[in-house]
């Protein structure tokens, strides 16, 4: 079995955390829409984005060994928020393309 250096393991952890956030976003967006569709339709997108940002902050800050250098917890939380926001944006774009096709609305 091939041994990986700590730098390579950090890279794999980053991709794994980003992939998990993306899969969470793909599942959470339609779930949020299904729950809030009848009662609070205007809150679907803001609530989904807020939950994804918080999920990104928690995962990026709590998964050990994601950062290559000993960064402060605030920096890791900020990076996690950005990754969660990007995952939410990609999930929204995927569902927009699936619902409307590539030609748009």
Domain boundaries, the chain: 6-100
Residue 49 to residues 2, 16, 17, 27: CA-CA distances in angstroms? 39, 20, 17, 13
Structural tokens at position 62: 């709590």
pLDDT tens-place string over residues 60-81: 887 766 666 666 778 888 888 9
Contact 25, 47 (CB under 8 A): no
The residues of the chain scoring below 50 in pLDDT are: 1
What's the CA gap between 94 and 19, in Å, rounded?
15
Give this prediction's pTM: 0.81
């Amino acid at each position: 079995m091939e041994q990986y250096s700590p730098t390579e393991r950090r890279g794999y952890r980053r991709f794994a955390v980003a992939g998990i956030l993306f899969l969470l976003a793909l599942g959470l967006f339609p779930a949020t829409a299904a729950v809030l569709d009848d009662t609070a339709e205007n809150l679907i997108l803001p609530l989904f984005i807020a939950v994804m940002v918080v999920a990104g902050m928690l995962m990026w800050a709590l998964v050990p060994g994601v950062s290559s250098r000993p960064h402060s917890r605030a920096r890791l939380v900020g990076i996690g928020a950005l990754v969660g926001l990007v995952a939410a944006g990609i999930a929204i774009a995927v569902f927009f393309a699936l619902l409307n096709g590539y030609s748009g609305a």
